[in-house]
């Protein structure tokens, strides 16, 4: 899914303007994510997962990797088991 489609879906589901969603996704979210990773080393989004800093594999590589561990709720939805959660039953 490309940015435009993600923005359209998020705007429809949240009742926001696409322009506002795009600005949030492309400017504010990455900046806040980076700030949280620098400060705490991880950022947890309930229902989505955890972004965290990891050292690159190998001894001679420098820098950090940003890794992502999906939440169990997200995994259930991706595996088709989240339909019950969405219907409210």
* DSSP calls for 37-51: HHHHSEEEETTTEEE
Write out the two tokens for 45.
């989004």
Residue-level pLDDT at 60: 73
Range of the domain at 1: 1-40
Contact 46, 71 (CB under 8 A): yes
Residues 86 and 45 in one domain: yes
Q: With 60 as the cut, is the pLDDT of residue 58 above it?
A: yes
Residues 36 and 1 in one domain: yes
Q: Which of 8-12, 29-33, 53-57, 84-88 has the lowest mean pLDDT?
A: 84-88
Q: With 90 as the cut, is the pLDDT of residue 86 above it?
A: no
Q: How many domains does the chain have?
A: 2
Residue-level pLDDT at 64: 82
Residues 2 and 13 in one domain: yes
Q: With 90 as the cut, is the pLDDT of residue 69 above it?
A: yes
The partner residues of 67 in beta bridges, in order of sequence, read 52
Q: Label residue 7 exposed, middle or buried (CB < 10 Å: 0-12, 13-18, 19+).
A: buried
The pTM score is: 0.74
Residues 50 and 84 in one domain: yes
């Amino acid at each position: 899914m490309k940015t435009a489609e993600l923005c359209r879906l998020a705007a429809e589901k949240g009742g926001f303007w696409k322009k506002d969603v795009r600005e949030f996704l492309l400017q504010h979210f990455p900046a806040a994510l980076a700030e949280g990773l620098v400060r705490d080393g991880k950022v947890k989004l309930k229902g989505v997962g955890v972004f965290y800093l990891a050292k690159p594999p190998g001894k001679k590589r420098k820098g950090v990797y940003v890794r992502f561990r999906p939440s169990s709720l997200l995994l259930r939805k991706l595996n088709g088991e989240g339909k019950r959660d969405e219907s409210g039953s």
